Structure 1
Amino acid sequence: MKVSVPYGRSFLPFEAPDGRLRSVLTSRLHELKAGAPEKDLVRASLNNPIGSAPLRDLAKGKKNVVIISSDHTRPVPSAVIMPLLLEEVRAGNPDANITILVATGGHRATTQEELLTRYGPDIVKNERIVVHNSHDDGVLVRVGTLPSGGDLILNKLAVEADLLVAEGFIEPHFFAGFSGGRKSVLPGIASYKTVLANHCAEFIAHDRARTGILEGNPIHADMVFAARSVNLAFVCNVVIDSDKRIIAAFSGEMEQAHEKGCQFVGRYARVKAVPADIVVTSNGGYPLDQNLYQAVKSMTAGEATCNKGGVIIVAAECSDGHGGEAFYRTFEHIPTPEGVMNLILARGRDQTEPDQWQIQIFARVLMDYTVIMVTSAPKEMVEHLNMRWAPSLAEAVSMGEDILGNPQASITVVPDGVAVIVDKA
C-alpha cells in the first residue's frame, strides 16, 4: 500500500511491505469537504457567535483594540481571518486603534517576510503589527498568580486593551489537550517566566496533560485562568484540513466557542491505536516540521500506537535545524533519557528550565522506543540527540528491522501525527 507522508511543503512516498501494514491512522477531518468558501465560513461564524454578542457590537465605544494572532510556527490562515476581524471591529467602531499582536510564546521573532506571507502586503503596510517578545520585561506587566502558583506576567498591550480578541486554530495538542482559544494568551503573549511555570515537570507528567484532554488538565486550567485574567473577550478559531484550508469556524466567547471547536475536532480526529513494531509518522509538514524540537509532537502519536521497545520513524524536514539550544544540549552532561527524566522530575514548579517540557516528553519517548528521523537536519545533529538518522522512509524501515532483529516487523502509519488523537488500545 502506498501512503503519502507530509514533509516540508511536500510529501514523501511510502510503500509499506506486503502483508506487514497493520493500519493507516488518519483524522477524518481530512475527508470533510467545506460547505462554503473559507471567507464565508469565517464570516458566518462571526455573524453567529457562540455565547457572545457579535464582535462589531463588542467594539462599540472601545478605543484600543488588540487582536492576538498566531506566529509563523502555526498554519493559521490569517490572510483569510484577519481582514474579516478588522472589518468587524471597524464596523462597530471606525475610529478604533487596532493593534495586531503576534503571539510568539517562547519562539523566535516572526520575520518581516513571514508577516507578509501570513497577512499579505496590505495588512503589513497599513496595520500596526507588534511581535511579542517574552523575554523583554519592558513590554510585560504582572497581572496576578496562576492556579499553579507561578507569576502571571503578560504583554502590556493586551492588559491595557479596551477590547482583546484572538484568532487561532484548533488541533490536538500533545499536553494542552487542544490548541486554540485560551492558548493565544498563555503561552502566546506571556512572559517566558510564566510559560516556564505553566510547563512545569509536575504538570507535564500529569496523566491528564495529554492529547485531546481538557477536563482535569492542570496546564489547560492555568491557560484559562490567564485568558480570563486579561479579559480575552472574543475568539475566532478555525479548523483546517491537510491542505491547511478552513473547513469549520467557531467564533464567540473564549471558552464556549473553543469548547465547541474542540468537540468538533475530537469527533473526527480520534482514532483507536493499532499497535505495531514500527510506527511511521510526521509533524504534518510545514510549518510544524521546521525543527527537531517541534518534531517531538508527532513522536507522542507514535508512542500511543507503538509496541513498547519498538521503533518510531518521524519524517520532519527541520529546515530551521534543532530549534532550541537547551533542547539540543539535552544529553551533553547526562547521556541517558532515564537520567534526564530523573533530573527533570526532581525540579519543583518554580524550577522549570527552558525547553524542559519538550525535553521531558522527548526523554519519555526515548526511554521506551528507538526514534529514527528522516530529515534534512544533519546526521550529527540527530545523533547528538540520541536518535538515528535515515535518508529515506524505506531506509528507516530497514534500519528499524535491523534494530528489532525482525525482518517481518509489523507497521502502522500515522501520516500526520499532530492531526490525530490516538486512543491507546
Structure 2
Amino acid sequence: MALITIPYGKTYIETLIPDDHLQGVLIPKSHHYKAKAGEKDLVRMALDNPVASPRLCELAKGCRRIVIITSDHTRPVPTKIIAPLLLEEIRSSNPEAEITFLVATGFHRETTKAELVNKFGEQMFRNEKIVVHNCWSKETMIKAGRLPSGGELIINKLAMEADLLIAEGFIEPHLFAGFSGGRKSVLPGIVSDVTVLANHCAEFIAHEKAKAGILAGNPMHEDMVYAAKQAKLAFILNVAIDADKKIIRAFAGDSEQAHLAGCKFVEELAKVEGKESDIVITSNGGYPLDQNVYQHVKALSSAAAACKAGGVIIACAACNDGHGSQDLYEWLRGGARRAIDIIMQTDKNATIPDQWATQIMARILLAYTVIFVTDQCDHQLIRDMGFETAFTLEEAMAAAKLKAGPCYQITVIPDGVAVIVK
C-alpha cells in the first residue's frame, strides 16, 4: 500500500492506495529542489545580478513616484520576504521616493485588511502606502491604446503615472497564459474589467497554444506582453517556490528577459510525464489557492491531462470561501453544455465575466466526473455547479471505484498547480 499525502487548506489529507492500482504520483522537481541559499539571500543575489537591466537602485535614482505591483490574496507570493528587500534596494539610492504598493487583484474580489496584514506583516501594513486595485473603478483608470487582439487597453492610473513601475510575483505554470508572473502583473493584474474581458475571450481560451507551459504563439501572452510595455513595466522580481511556498530561486531585471529566464527554470522543474488513468486525485496545492471553487480550474486542468475520457477527477479542496465567483456559479448552475454553447457563440469583444473559467470547467465537466472533497463548504453549492461532493477522500474514492470498475488505475497529482503534464 502506498501512503498518499494531498495538500488541503493549511493541512493535509492522507490515504492509502493499493500498489497494483497506483499508476503514478506526479510531483514536480520543485518540491524536492535544494535551494543554493536561504530565501533572503536568493532574493538579494537576484537583485545584485539583474537580467538584462541595470540594478534597481540605479533605476530608482531621481524617481519621485515609484509603484510596486504586488500579488493579491489568492497567490502564495512570499511578499514579507520580497518587499522589504525591494524597499531596501530602492531607498539605498532614493530615500525620498514616494513608494506605493499596488495590489493586483485582476478580476478577483477586493483583498481585505486582514489578508493585507497577513501578506505584508503588521509593520509594513502600517508604515507603507498600499492601494488595492479595483478593475471596475473607471475613475482610477487611463486608456493606453489597443491590445494586439483588438481589445481596449485600460490600465490603473497609479501605474501609468509612476516614474518607475516595478512588479513582484512568482512564476508557476498557468493553464492558459503559459506561466504566471512577469507581464501578468499588469494584465490582468491592474487593468480594467474591459481589458480583462477582451483578453480572456472564448477564442483565446480555446486556442491550441493557450496552455500551461506555452508562451510562443500564445495570443493571451502576446496581449499581456504588450500591456506591460505600454505600462512601462521597468523591472520585475519574480520567485520560484516549492511545496512549502518557500523561495528556491529568484529572478530580477528586465520584465521580459528576467521572466523568460524564470519560466525556463520553472518549466524544467514542472514537467512531468503522465499516463492516462481511470481516476486522478489532485489539489490546488492547499492554501491560499484552494479557498474557492473558481481557482480549482487550475488543478482540474492538470488532472484532465492525465485522466481517461469518461474517468473520475477527485479534487481535495477546502473551498472555505465558497464558489469564488457568482458569475461562474450562475454559468455552471445552468448546465455545462448550455454554458459552452453560449460562450462559443459569444463575440470576442463581448466577453462575459468569468466565462473563461466557466469555459474550461464546463469542458472538463462534459468529459469527466468531478468530485470535490471538502468539509469546509456547502456541498449543495458545489453540486449546483454540476460537480459531485464528498466529505472525505475515502468517500470520494468509493464513489470513483464504482464508476471506474474493479480494474481501475489511479494517478495522483498532489499539487495540480505546480505541474505541466506532458
The letter for the 2-side match of 1:126 is N
User: Deviation at 1:155?
Assistant: 0.4
3-state SS of the aligned residue for 2:83? helix
User: Deviation at 1:280?
Assistant: 0.3
- Conserved 8 A contact 1:9-1:286: yes
Alignment of 1:77-156 (within 5 A): 77-156=78-157
- Conserved 8 A contact 2:332-2:358: no
User: Deviation at 1:338?
Assistant: 2.5
CA distance, structure 1, for counterparts of residue 347 and residue 223 of structure 2: 16
The letter for the 2-side match of 1:253 is D
CA distance, structure 2, for counterparts of residue 137 and residue 342 of structure 1: 31
CA distance, structure 2, for counterparts of residue 262 and residue 3 of structure 1: 29
- Conserved 8 A contact 1:234-1:254: yes
- Conserved 8 A contact 2:333-2:385: no
1:392 aligns with 2:366: no
Deviates more, 1:165-174 or 1:107-116: 107-116
The letter for the 1-side match of 2:368 is Y
The letter for the 1-side match of 2:305 is A
The letter for the 2-side match of 1:58 is L
CA distance, structure 2, for counterparts of residue 92 and residue 346 of structure 1: 54
Deviates more, 1:118-127 or 1:316-325: 118-127
User: Deviation at 1:125?
Assistant: 1.1
Q: Which residue of 1 aligns with 2:234?
A: 233
Q: Which residue of 2 aligns with 1:174?
A: 175
CA distance, structure 1, for counterparts of residue 100 and residue 171 of structure 2: 23
User: Deviation at 1:41?
Assistant: 0.4
Alignment of 1:1-400 (within 5 A): 1-333=2-334, 335=335, 337-375=336-374, 376-400=376-400
3-state SS of the aligned residue for 2:256? helix
CA distance, structure 2, for counterparts of residue 113 and residue 310 of structure 1: 40
The letter for the 1-side match of 2:348 is R
CA distance, structure 2, for counterparts of residue 421 and residue 76 of structure 1: 20
CA distance, structure 2, for counterparts of residue 102 and residue 294 of structure 1: 18
Q: Which residue of 2 aligns with 1:420?
A: 419
- Structure 1 stretches of 4+ with a deviation exceeding 6 A read none
User: Deviation at 1:95?
Assistant: 1.1
User: Deviation at 1:339?
Assistant: 2.5
Give TM-score scaled by structure 2 length.
0.98
The letter for the 2-side match of 1:343 is I
CA distance, structure 1, for counterparts of residue 332 and residue 63 of structure 2: 51
CA distance, structure 1, for counterparts of residue 345 and residue 307 of structure 2: 28
User: Deviation at 1:297?
Assistant: 0.9
User: Deviation at 1:239?
Assistant: 0.4
3-state SS of the aligned residue for 1:35? coil
The letter for the 2-side match of 1:169 is F
CA distance, structure 1, for counterparts of residue 151 and residue 250 of structure 2: 33
Q: How many matched pairs?
A: 420
- Conserved 8 A contact 1:147-1:225: yes
CA distance, structure 2, for counterparts of residue 340 and residue 263 of structure 1: 36
3-state SS of the aligned residue for 1:329? helix
The letter for the 2-side match of 1:350 is N
Post-superposition CA distance 1:150-192 (Å, at most 9, x none): 1100100000000000000000001101000000000000111
Q: Which runs of 5+ in 2 are unaligned?
A: none
CA distance, structure 2, for counterparts of residue 394 and residue 19 of structure 1: 18
- Conserved 8 A contact 1:58-1:92: no
- Conserved 8 A contact 1:201-1:360: yes
Deviates more, 1:154-163 or 1:391-400: 391-400
CA distance, structure 1, for counterparts of residue 55 and residue 77 of structure 2: 22
CA distance, structure 2, for counterparts of residue 331 and residue 341 of structure 1: 10
The letter for the 1-side match of 2:156 is N
User: Deviation at 1:36?
Assistant: 1.1
- Conserved 8 A contact 1:22-1:412: yes
3-state SS of the aligned residue for 1:330? helix
Q: Which runs of 5+ in 1 are unaligned?
A: none
CA distance, structure 1, for counterparts of residue 128 and residue 245 of structure 2: 25
CA distance, structure 2, for counterparts of residue 332 and residue 306 of structure 1: 24
User: Deviation at 1:111?
Assistant: 1.1
RMSD: 0.9
CA distance, structure 2, for counterparts of residue 255 and residue 379 of structure 1: 43
CA distance, structure 1, for counterparts of residue 60 and residue 332 of structure 2: 51
3-state SS of the aligned residue for 1:135? coil
CA distance, structure 2, for counterparts of residue 330 and residue 191 of structure 1: 22
User: Deviation at 1:49?
Assistant: 0.1
- Conserved 8 A contact 2:332-2:362: no
Give TM-score scaled by structure 1 length.
0.98
CA distance, structure 1, for counterparts of residue 391 and residue 397 of structure 2: 11
The letter for the 2-side match of 1:396 is A
CA distance, structure 1, for counterparts of residue 211 and residue 15 of structure 2: 29
User: Deviation at 1:94?
Assistant: 1.2
Post-superposition CA distance 1:328-381 (Å, at most 9, x none): 112444x3x222212101111111001100000001111110100001221111
3-state SS of the aligned residue for 1:342? helix
CA distance, structure 2, for counterparts of residue 291 and residue 167 of structure 1: 24
CA distance, structure 2, for counterparts of residue 152 and residue 44 of structure 1: 35
